[in-house]
Amino acid sequence: MLVRTVVIISLMVVSAFLIVKFFGKLVKVDMFEAIIESKDRTLFIIIMIISYIVSFMLFYVFFVVFPLRVFDLNTYHAGGLSGYMDQSAWDARVYDPMKGSYINYPNSNTPLPAAKFTETFEVLSFFKSPSDDYYQDTDSLGFVNNLIPFILGPLFLVGIYFILYTIAKEYIACYVLKIKISHDVIAARFSGITGLSPAMALIIYLSVSVLFFGWSVISAKKVRHHYQELNASHQRVLRDAVLKKASPGETLTGYVIRRFYISESDSTTEEGGPRGTRTKTRYYSVPVYTVEFSDLIHIPVYISLRYMENIEREELNRHFPDLKAIIPNFMKEYTFIVNPDYSISLKKDKREDSARTKITSF
């Protein structure tokens, strides 16, 4: 990791030097001196550094990291049927039909357990670099993640161009230099130095970008399709077996084995007052429990359960040592009822309900 960081920083410094040097040739100005002599030197330098760092990182990710990741994707991939996330160890617990058991894949972005019995055993696919400890989802090389650097990289590079152009123009005017500077002149000098017109350079960039873009998206799609074909029949058999036992209205016994928190928000609109209509957003954490049904079919089945009501939360939190704990001290067996949408709810004790009713009526 340290070596990689040093290499990236070194590349950024060298690239920044070469870009400023090359732009100086285009405008026939010593850009390093122009930056030092700039009236708003500090502001320009800060803006240029920030813009350059962002654009470099985007280009680096798109033209270096992405191709390497696509190679790793095609070489080091794995997959199976979804089980649950073990947040305590940052593992994805995935069922491998070939081995007939659950396999742990270290994954810092593990998918949540199924919320309903109809969503169990979804097909998952991962990949990793040999030097990495954690797997990544193949979705990370999908359409949207490729599109971001494809668009933002050139925008930030254009921003750097206009910053350098403004500094050069200010320097020429300040020292009354007999140097013509305009976008047309810069374009002509660019063609003279590189042998390419700006339009042709743009076409080459777009062609290479589309090549990487398509390679990444298609490769990720092929890996996902490979595991979908490999596991489709196993998924159907397992899910059918589960749904025969977990129909709406059935009562099932299971163990709460994990608890983690997800962040949610709700917004309220307030009208009136000197500022008119205002929207307030409240953020809060909601506990999600992983329930294991070990006797439903021949392998354990995992369902996530989210509770907002304090009574149920208190019951499920009873065997966790504190509010931050992920693993309970004691795996208690609870009785759950299958809802009409195939999600689950904690079955309430009728005696407790009766006691609450008496207390309330009293």
- Tens-digit pLDDT profile for residues 28-42: 988 888 877 776 666
Question: Which residues in the chain land under pLDDT 70?
Answer: 1-2, 4, 39-44, 46-48, 50-51, 54-55, 58, 62-63, 87-89, 270-277, 308, 349-362
pLDDT at res. 358: 30
pTM reported for the whole predicted model = 0.73
pLDDT at res. 44: 65
Beta strand extents in 115-250 (DSSP E only)? 123-127, 136-137
3-state DSSP percent of the chain in helix, strand and coil, to 5: 50, 25, 25
Is 344 buried (19+), middle (13-18) or exposed (0-12) by CB count in 10 A?
A: buried
Alpha-carbon span 35 to 12, nearest angstrom:
18
344 to each of 23, 204, 298, 319, 336, how far by Cα in Å? 64, 55, 20, 20, 6
Evaluate whether 77 touches 224 at the Cβ level (below 8 Å): no
